[in-house]
Structure 1
């Protein structure tokens, strides 16, 4: 996309003020037309006459913002007979060659980006841990031990033994879904295959990006969650929710362990918020009049009158 350039003093230039708003509006439209069609300021006479009225065109010619065939401006090219040219167009705007070169460079950059993204999507997991995550989780070959452990199966919801969700029936009575299969043979943190963000294209192998990138809940990650948050978070349930979310959306992350850590932190915060008792008076509604207690009972004037009559009768009896 090219742009018709106007400097920040255009609105107060003597030529603009002398031409008037209507003629200047025609000039701007003509400039946009010339930029869109890469004419370098040359304008077909029919286009000019269709954009503006005769008086507006004569005003632009008079003040020198537009030139017709035979003009005397030494800085501007001569248009063909019946056509026009914008004054000093190339002093403020790019030439056709410059715009086409910029467009070609942009096209090549886009093609390189698409090619790099395609290679990243098709590249298998990288066994080398990225520098950003080196030291974050100790590598004790937990994933390899799990793959070789006959006690570990997908039916245990991605953990050794039964999870809290498997042994305690929840609101729906449905156990946590299994974690990704452990048969991909990739590193815990994925690799360059996990490096493109946004929605991934549908893969020919039918796997979600998080599975293809080889995300795995390692023993080191589990220990970090338990040491940091204790029993506040059900690690297996939260991890299963994490995996299900990214399977469903098809989104990818540069670092799956970092994304998982953020997910666990958010779950822990929500769990703490649920455990905190509500503030005193949080569920009380203000009553009309501003009183906090129940309103005082209304005095009965009838009872007062009866009490007075009884007092008079008692006095009469004594006399």
Structure 2
């Protein structure tokens, strides 16, 4: 972008005062037009006559701010016939060559800035990245060719021997995932706590038995639920029925149904505890847990229990 220059004494210059505001306004507009189109002060006559009136044009010529063909100013060149020229334009404004050189220099600076930004964003360089991508693509292609080679055979991951699922022999459509067992539930170690408290080592194959036979909760699992306090808020038989219905309806499978049942019970206990209203009232058989009477009766029952146990309080 180029700028039409006016010095800070332009508004009080004798020529400006003599020309008047209307003519000065035309002069500024013509100067901007010449700078925009890099005419170095030369103006097409049609443009001048379109921008200004005959009196304003004549005032600019009379005071010497605008020249017409045949003018007598020794410092300014002659305009073409029918055209005009701004007086001393190149004394205050850049030439076409200067403006074009400045624009080219700015373009090169911007290009260098963009290249520097790309280098900073990719220190290894674009060529290095391209070579890396080509190497990675070549490696992938080699791996695909090797995988498709009939002489190449992968071993089953995580198994010492090939299972029936890895061979055509014995395969019947989509292989079924393991199902819960009702005959081989693991017991729970007495005295152990938490979700990993299992007694005997799980039988080989974990629990690939169908749900149709019913899921059996072993005595060890029940002892675990009572020992860790889950049975206080959870109906084990009801939750077991819900457990079986859920997994049967969704067709989901697990590698170890005993662990999955324990997780189900812990979650059911958590939800029951969150739904249980907070209260300091002790539940008494046959007595509703509301009102002052229930609260007083609860504290009396606790006091009697402590007295019977020999507590001095």
TM-score range, shorter chain: 0.3 to 0.5
Q: Which has the larger radius of gyration?
A: 2
Structure ranking higher on relative contact order (CA contacts 8 Å, 6+ apart)? 1
TM-score under structure 2 length normalisation: 0.39
